[in-house]
Amino acid sequence: MDKIADILKDFPKEKILKEIENLMNHYKNNEHGIQLIKVGGGYLFTTKPEHDKFIRQLLINRKQIRLSRAAIETLAVIAYYQPVTLSEINSLRGVDSTYTLRTLLRHKLVKIIGRKNVPGRPLLYRTTKKFLIHFGLNSLNDLPSIEELEKIIEEKHSSF
């Protein structure tokens, strides 16, 4: 409010507050996709909760990340074995995953969460919230089990 009053010096604070209240009511009562809310001692335009799923879908569709097969494999290893080190990823995949891991870090699908308490203190990696959003998961518990994955893979191979 202080910043608004500072900018609108010619208007009394009471009038500014009344107009903000009018704006809040206008967006609340009319069919708008946004609302004006009071938060953290200030005001913020936000998406109305009932429109959140549409906005999220729009944002997901707008910024599709293309992942290579190697990136998907690496991401799967991290998702199922996290927290995991690069050497553990390499061992599970059977190839060097350094470049692929850098790509996943750059896309913010994976993050460094610390170091493993073993000789050499290698970095530990885990998936991010962006990973969950990208794959439409609410939590890691929504990932299919290893058995379910094996069944899906088996079905795909038998259909070829």
Instruction: Read off the pLDDT of residues 26-57 as tens digits, 9 standing for 90 and up.
Output: 998 878 888 998 876 778 888 888 888 887 77
Are both 58 and 73 inside the same structural domain? no
Domain count, the chain: 2
Determine the average pLDDT of the residues in 109-117.
96
Alpha carbons 130 and 114: distance in angstroms, whole number? 19
Rounded (to 5) percent helix, strand, coil in the chain: 55, 15, 30
pLDDT score of 62: 54
pTM for the whole thing?
Answer: 0.58
pLDDT digits over 52-75, tens only? Answer: 888 777 776 555 678 899 999 999
Are both 76 and 154 inside the same structural domain? yes
Boundaries of domain holding 44: 2-62
- CATH code for the domain in which residue 28 is found: 1.10.10.10
Alpha carbons 78 and 68: distance in angstroms, whole number? 15
Tokens of 59: 């944002």
Are both 94 and 110 inside the same structural domain? yes
Tokens of 5: 């009053």
CA dihedral 63, 66, 71, 72 (to 10 degrees): 90
**Helix 86-93 vs helix 69-81: crossing angle, to nearest 10:** 120
Are both 102 and 146 inside the same structural domain? yes
Of the three residues 39, 62, 85, the one that is the final residue of a domain is 62
pLDDT score of 5: 85
Contact criterion met (CB below 8 Å) for 87 and 97:
no
